Structure 1
Amino acid sequence: MWALGSCRAAAAMRYSCLTCHERQLSSWTSSFVPFRICPSSPSSCIVSSSRCLIRCASSETSTPPGDSKSASTTQPIAPLKPSAAAPTGSVPAVDAATTAKSKLDGKRKRRLPIDYSQEYTDNVYIPAVRAMNDYLLKPTDLDKLRKTTKRSPVTDSPPLTVFLKKDVEQRAIEVWGSMDALQRERKKRRETELERNVQVSNVKRLLRDIARGEGDSGREERDAYQDDQLKGSKRVVYSAIAINAANFSFKALAWLYTGSHSMFAETIHSFADTCNQAILAVGLMGSTKKPDKLHPYGYSSLRYVSSLVSGLGIFFFGFGLTVYHGIMGLLHPTAIAPLYWAFFVLGGSLLSEGGTLMVALGQIRKEARRQNVSIWNYVLRGQDPSVNVVLLEDIAAVLGVAIAATSMGLSTYYNSPLPDCIGSLCIGTLLGAVASFIIYTNTVALVGRSIPIALQQQMTQVLESDVLVRSVYDVKAIDMGGLNVRYKAEIDFDGRQLTRSYLDKQDLEMMLEESQNLKTIEDLEGFMSKHGENIVDLLGSEVDRIEASLRKKHPEVRHVDLEVL
């Protein structure tokens, strides 16, 4: 069989039966037949025209194409050889075409595969809004840039005008000078926007409070409570600084005059107390700073930090130096001068230290009574770290004066420096114990400590007593220092009660009429969306109301985080 032209399917039939025609052939004839793609191998039937001249074999009573009977009896035929009468000029034509195509394929440049491991952003487009927001450009800055339109991802929306990202970045560099300058401007605008959002949020909250008739009364009461506690702490710390500075001066003179090891220990003790209480004063002043962007919960923990530093100072300076001086006195004993002046100084120090001790004890008793806890529990939990440090230092000072007076009296009576050196060691040990207690209590407070269980249950009871609250879960209440408590809980709200509260504020007849006029799904969706949004706003207002109620009954609660289940 012969095929003319460039029909690959016809050329392929030279060595196979005409299976694609689904006819059984018995003799040779010449005819024009329309070429149909073979269903068994359609990919190989590529025809250059709608008809091919095929020299095919068919029987004298050839069955028309499409005869079902003949099609059903179609049998495979062995490959046929071309007839001798067939023209021989067509085969070289096909071979020449194939050879030419092979040469052309050999000259064609090989395409490089895509490397997906490398970044390529030259084809990234961004819309105009993003170009202006991310690169701080104006609409006039984008006029001269290359732009195109892309189909909008939102259905039934007009096409988007987009710009090449690399062109936008280049334009931003021209406007701002460099990408670093652009980043600085972004940061500046972000801070300004954050401050504006905070102010707007405060105004909204104030308007909600005024609408509920509450105003800032609860916040003012809380601030007054904390201001009173802070004033008491400052009074104790400042008086302790003045008295300890005076005691240090007199004890230093007495030590220089007598050379007593116990008096040296008391001198170091008063000097350490003066420095540490100055650190406490700095911490008190810093803790009054208002919250800012870097410290959104305020600086109340700074009091614990200053108290911790004070405890470390007492331990390393007071304990270490006095113990070292006592050991050196035992190893190298020396005669001591008359100690009469030292007794007068110790007597005055006992009176002054006792005075500051009573002031600190009175402040702690007042705050413990206000919080309905014992004095020991108040001190142990470090509720007011500054006053606690003053109290413990004054207790150590009074005991230290008693130890120094006893040791110096024994040294005078026995005329031996040994009791005086032992007294220095006892005073150092006392300072070490006090410093260790201060370090422990403030470290626990800084790590994050829960408030007492009884107080936490009282706060939870306030929430559970509200009509909208079904239950309270995952309660966490942390003492942040300075009478600042952070309370967090997950609330299961009663949806029916919340809906009833919303309906009480609506005109039900108007809502009924509006619902009866709903005709389409779109109308129903709009109706539900409007009232659903209003209910969500009401839920936010109810959360604010519950938080205000909790703060009113427990002024120490500074931050409340209520999550809706």
Structure 2
Amino acid sequence: MRQPQNGRDDQAGATLRTVVTAVVANLLVALAKGVAALITGSAALWAETLHSIADTGNEVLLFIGVHRSKKKEDPRHPFGYGQERYFWALLAALGIFVLGGVLSIGEGVRSLLRPEPLVSPWIGVVVLVAAACFEGYSWRVARRQVLTRARELDRTILEHLARGSDPATSTVYLEDSAALVGIALALAALVLQLLTGWRASDGLASVCIGLLLITVALRLARRSKSLLIDEAAPEDVVRPIREAIVRHGWIAHVPALEVIFVGPGQLLVIVRVAPVPAACAAPAHELVGQVDRLRDELLHMPAVTEVAVTVEDARG
């Protein structure tokens, strides 16, 4: 008996809404930034255009991952397709690194080596302010989902970003956070050049935006890699499962308990239990019934999708 799908479907639906919101916002922002970059010739605006293009493409990858992860389990994938999200999130992180980070740094270096005066820089200022509004809305949607999930698990946002099993929402949240910082850097560069005429500010801003994106990409890639290789659940997830097991009076102790992520909000529980002597002396069918009841109880816990219980001799 597996855990009902409703909770995971609701979570996937919320993630899908977050990703779609981010795709629409970044597509509009990328178009506006691209036009402004063509008019002004600003390296920082070109970096921000690349940033938004990368974010749009990456969020399409996340959309694919969320959609494919909703497929039901089958004989070839007995635990379902939840890890699809980890694979597509890893591709998204690589996209941020190459399209956003490396190309932005390259554009910044080019601008530093051959600085050029800006044309109609106020157009860039207006576009960046408008972009901040779109990005800010997408960021609020992603933050609300991250915060809701963090509160459910009694975590801070930073703790949830480090321990959470849904890379899609975390990726959107961190991308949008980086986007707001990048807009601030580009805006500061334009205003500084307007006020002082210092042309190098534009190239420096582009390099800083690239370094920011590389930092975010490495953070996301490391998290996706950990989840792809069947990372154990953190202690705040394992603790209630262990407490539920030891409450059973027929269990003397728990020699081993493994709780592993097999998808966003999906846990595989593998437990070895040693029964008390009285349970060992009882008829075999009674012990089997106790094990079945333990397994059913664990399967009804949040996020638990499969449970394997092994009984070992308490005298061993």
Code of the aligned partner of 2:121: L
Residue by residue over 1:78-97, the C-alpha shift from the partner in whole angstroms, topping out at 9 and shown as x without a partner, is xxxxxxxxxxxxxxxxxxxx
Equivalent in the alignment of 2:229: 447
1:457 maps onto 2:239 in alignment: yes
Map of 1:545 onto structure 2: 293
Please say if 1:229 is aligned against 2:11.
Answer: yes
Structural mapping, 1:66-215, within 5 Å: none
Give, in angstroms, the shift of residue 494 of structure 1: 3.7
**How much has 1:452 moved relative to structure 2?**
2.0
Q: Specify whether residues 485 and 219 from structure 1 end up closer, same or farther in structure 2 by C-alpha distance, changes over 3 A only.
A: closer
1:335 aligns with 2:117: yes
- CA-based RMSD of the aligned residues comes to 1.6
- Does the residue aligned with 2:252 lie in a helix, a strand or coil? strand
Structure 2 partner of 1:322:
104
The size of the alignment, in residue pairs, is: 312
Q: Is it true that 1:299 corresponds to 2:81 in the alignment?
A: yes
Residue 473 of structure 1, CA deviation: 1.1
Shift of 1:310: 0.5
1:40 maps to which residue? none
State the alpha-carbon separation in 1 of the partners of residues 151 and 239 from structure 2: 19
Q: Unmatched 5+ residue regions in structure 1?
A: 1-204, 206-217, 501-534
Can you list the C-alpha shifts for 1:131-182, whole angstroms capped at 9, x where unaligned?
xxxxxxxxxxxxxxxxxxxxxxxxxxxxxxxxxxxxxxxxxxxxxxxxxxxx
Counterpart of 1:88 in structure 2 is none
Q: What CA distance in whole angstroms lies between the structure 2 residues aligned with 1:482 and 1:488?
A: 18
Shift of 1:336: 1.8
Q: How far apart in 2 are the matches of 1:440 and 1:355?
A: 27
Q: Whole-Å Cα distance in 2 between the matches of residues 238 and 498 of structure 1?
A: 55
Q: CA deviation at 1:495?
A: 5.6
The correspondence of residues 507-518 of structure 1 with structure 2, limited to 5 A, is none
1:560 and 2:304 aligned? no
Q: How far apart are residue 339 of structure 1 and its match?
A: 0.8
In the TM superposition, residue 547 of structure 1 has moved relative to its aligned partner by: 1.1
- Partners of 2:220 and 2:3 in 1: how far apart? 32
> Distance in 1 between the 2:112 and 2:38 partners?
19
> Is this contact kept in 2: 1:382–1:445, CA < 8 A?
no
- Name the structure 2 match of 1:374: 156
Partner deviation per Cα, 1:465-496 (whole Å, 9 max, x = no partner): 11322221111111223111111111122463
Counterpart for residue 219 of structure 1: 3
- Larger relative contact order (Cα-Cα within 8 Å, sequence gap ≥ 6): 2
User: Which residue in the other structure is 2:33 paired with?
Assistant: 251
How far residue 403 of structure 1 moved from its aligned partner, in angstroms, is 0.4
- What do the CA deviations read for 1:522-548 (whole angstroms, capped 9, x no partner)? xxxxxxxxxxxxx44444333221111
Opposite residue 255 of structure 1, the aligned amino acid is A
Shift in Å at residue 229 of structure 1?
Answer: 1.1
CA contact (8 A) 2:59 2:92 kept: yes
Cα distance, 1:368 vs. partner?
0.9
After superposition, give the CA deviation of every residue in 1:90-135 in whole Å (9 maximum; x if it has no partner): xxxxxxxxxxxxxxxxxxxxxxxxxxxxxxxxxxxxxxxxxxxxxx
Task: Report the 3-state secondary structure (helix = DSSP H, G, I; strand = E; otherwise coil) of the residue aligned with 2:38.
Answer: helix
**TM-score normalised to structure 2 length:** 0.94
1:431-442 alignment to 2 at 5 Å?
A: 431-442=213-224
Partner Cα separation in structure 1 for residue 191 and residue 137 of structure 2? 24
TM-score under structure 1 length normalisation: 0.53
**Which one of 38, 61, 75 corresponds to residue 279 of structure 1?**
61
Is this contact kept in 1: 2:3–2:305, CA < 8 A?
no
Instruction: Please state how far the C-alpha of 1:383 moved relative to its aligned partner.
Output: 2.3
Greater fraction of residues in helix: 2
Query: Secondary structure of 1:475's partner?
Result: strand
